[in-house]
Structure 1
């Protein structure tokens, strides 16, 4: 199919895909995937146990060759989550480690490439239906933005059931014809030992690499260090730049939109900002009533996007339910600022990262970055806790060496406007994170 054209058109590469479980040449991958495609052809949809190894790459490739939509299942999914995904998707089969188990068919044939389930923070996980055309448009736009070609070697250790690890990290190399090295786990040592030109990571990964100078320096020959899935703290950005000689490229996206905004390989990189819209993508800011807001680099608004990378809709018992758009614009649920030159800064989720306190609107990320400048602070997460007078109280959860909470409050107050300082600081042993390294702030708010 068109999405995987490079498998047919590119010359063979002996180790086109490398994982801890082994490696495959491009021809061997095509042969194994084609055999699998013949076994599942005609199925309405198949689920894939998305372990970080060759079996998942073969399964995904085979399903795409067969024109069968894929539902990746996290290998560490609990029984309830797993049962929900299988039941809700109506998968006719489950591919696991090369084995194929048939399931009761409960759905008509679906015209899609992927069904990715959201994290379910506001209810049961929803199946996001993504077309081959949306994936192709996104990967081609990123290839231009990152100067990503068949000559690259991509290295990452990200889960293979999200946009970052699966769409960019597996389908990207398959479409563009470049080599893929999956490290199994995204440890500093594994990244340092894998020779690549492009490395993908989430902020947690990059933070650990920046804290390991030897591992970070080993990445100096790389062409691009790409960070996404959550905001990269400015101190980590600066640390990577100092140790590797290369400022990381940040990008923004979500399951429903794929990647829509990114810094460019040949352009400027700014800490705390994710760059410019990709070709064909439009963005805008609106207020709570939907009225447009200015792109002045200061005004925080609700981010909306439009373009060819949007989802087809959400899976429902009756088929695919189209997303609710406003004049063709998709509401991301994130809040951001857009500078006059088009650069975007993602403040965070509207539900947890835009804090309304004492009549002010404060972005949690700005306060977190200020806290991370303190030499004792290793991690920080800031949320708004309901408050009878302020509306919301700026509250920080901090992983740090011994330090007095009052000292951290004063430290922030000396660097930001007084109304942006935390009113309370809780010292904790760790922050709750999901598989992609994002802090689960809803758990902190309920603390």
Structure 2
């Protein structure tokens, strides 16, 4: 394996820059600043950084990776309890970017199997857990995505995503530092910021793309780009179609999670399908199993998604490394051609109603086709006869509960129609734009 941050060590091109709205830092200056800080923190067990969307955060994370010290990104908006939990659980020392002396030697490359990042991720129960990601896993994922997305040093990546998740940090920062592309972080992922920042690749979550499509003038400014990537949550089909119309290209969707990194994606030079996330990337295998854990081979069958391969994490802090197939907790279908559709979380998006298994995403897509509907989330709620009933939470103007139930009934099988529709002003979402279905329940 080459150096994890290979582009930083390429003497032939250290001119590529990383920048935020306030600061532009050529790569040779980033290497200089990070090497100085690396010399100060070398030998520490673990460090943490308040992961603001700035070049300063990139300097600290780069320094820790150069020094071989695992780094924990802390959400800048974390409340006192969350921040205390992350720091106490990890035992990491919180540090900040600072100017140090010059002419520091670049440290030797650490062991590729050494831990690089500890990313805290929330499960269905208990406080967030620290997922340990090795240097080897990060490199394997970025190299595979470089192949799948035809990502090269000639690209300029633009995004405004948080720097404490896989999407914004691993793909959005470490990707350019490994591959050599330029990085422009917009601070916030607004339509105006994206439109004002020229690039060849843009990363966003569905909420970002939905807002961009609601601003057609700004959306059309992205037409010169060669790749628009959406992830971290399912992209509604109407947004997919609007992106294709306004920007001149369909988005590339991909699937992954903190524990596995990105494992499935559409290809830069291949087909893009609304509601589907493509094929496994090089080095990754996937399969579906039934409730008892037996493999499912029938194309189109809904099952529990499992993955294995080079991109998997090393386990949670103080827990053993997972062996064999990793249970994602998501349910999916795989077509005869290998294309994956993520139905959603097994705990919230697979609804068992009257003996049927219904994917919440299919019902949500049908609701979003209604011209009055802006947002929709579907869950299963207890029902004395059906076990679970399909309940929809919808943001809409000018549509009634009866209208929306009839709309779905006209487009899907009868057992897939909502039994209840709750009209809301907004859906609860987290920092990555994912709907918090637990709060709805």
Asked if the contact 2:348/2:437 (under 8 Å) is kept, the reply is yes
Q: Provide the TM-score with structure 2 as the length reference.
A: 0.95
Q: CA deviation at 1:294?
A: 2.0
Aligned twin of 2:50:
49
- Deviation readout 1:293-315 (Å, 9 max, x if unpaired): 12412x10000000000011110
Q: Does 1:390 align with 2:391?
A: no
Give the superposition deviation at 1:198. 0.3
Q: Is the 8 A contact 2:114 2:135 kept in 1?
A: no
Q: Which one of the candidate residues 125, 137, 140 is aligned to 1:134?
A: 137
Deviation at 1:322, TM superposition (A): 1.9
Q: Residues 387-423 of structure 1: CA distance to partner in whole angstroms, max 9, x if unpaired? A: 1111111000001112111000000000000100000
Partner of 1:411: 407
**Residue 201 in 1 paired to residue 190 in 2?**
no
Corresponding residue to 1:296 among 273, 294, 299: 299
Judging changes above 3 Å, is the alpha-carbon distance between structure 1 residues 122 and 10 closer, same or farther for their aligned structure 2 residues?
Answer: farther
Structure 2: stretches of 5+ with no match in the other structure? 101-110
* Alignment deviations for residues 261-299 of structure 1 (CA, whole Å, 9 cap, x no partner): 0000000000000000001110000011000112412x1
Query: Quick check: 1:386–1:392 contact (8 Å CA) kept in 2?
Result: yes
Q: Which residue of the partner structure matches residue 10 of structure 2?
A: 9
> 1:111 Cα shift?
3.3
Contact kept in structure 2, 1:295 and 1:342, CA below 8 Å:
no
Contact 1:153–1:181 (CA under 8 A) maintained in structure 2: yes
Tell me which residue corresponds to 1:94.
Answer: 94
Whether the aligned pair in 2 keeps the contact of 1:295 and 1:337 (CA below 8 Å) is no
Question: CA deviation digits over 1:82-107, x for unaligned, max 9?
Answer: 0010011011x21235499xxxxxxx
Match of 2:173 among 160, 164, 170: 170
Paired position in structure 1 for 2:427? 431
Partners of 1:98 and 1:435 in 2: CA distance: 27
- Gap runs ≥5 in structure 1: 101-108
CA contact (8 A) 2:8 2:14 kept: no
The answer as to whether partners of 2:252 and 2:267 remain within 8 angstroms in 1 is yes
**CA, structure 1 residues 119+99, in 2 after alignment: closer, same or farther (shift >3 Å)?**
farther
1:143-202 CA-partner distances (Å, limit 9, x unpaired): 000000000000000000000000000000000010000000000000000000000000
Q: CA deviation at 1:5?
A: 1.7
Deviation at 1:6, TM superposition (A): 1.2
Scaled by the length of structure 1, the TM-score of the pair is 0.94
- Match of residue 363, structure 1, among 350, 359, 366: 359
C-alpha distance in 2 between matches for 1:79 and 1:422: 39
Indicate conservation of the 8 Å contact 2:330/2:346, yes or no. yes
Equivalences for residues 25-424 of structure 1 within 5 A: 25-91=26-92, 93-96=93-96, 98=98, 111-297=114-300, 299-316=301-318, 320-323=319-322, 325=323, 328-424=324-420
Deviation digits for residues 211-234 of structure 1 (CA, Å, limit 9, x no counterpart): 111111000000000000000000
- Equivalent residue of 2:317, what SS? strand
Asked if structure 2 preserves the Cα contact closer than 8 Å seen for 1:196 and 1:222, the reply is yes
Instruction: Give the C-alpha shift of residue 13 in structure 1.
Output: 5.1
Query: Do the aligned residues in 1 keep the contact of 2:59 with 2:97 (CA within 8 Å)?
Result: no
Q: Deviations over 1:35-89 (max 9, x none)?
A: 0000100001100110000110000100000000010000000111100100110
Aligned with 1:3: secondary structure? coil
1:103 is aligned to: none
Shift of 1:15: 5.5
Q: Distance in 2 between matches of 1:10 and 1:208?
A: 40
Aligned to 2:23: 22
C-alpha contact 2:286 2:306 (8 A) present in aligned 1:
yes
Aligned alpha-carbon RMSD (Å): 1.5
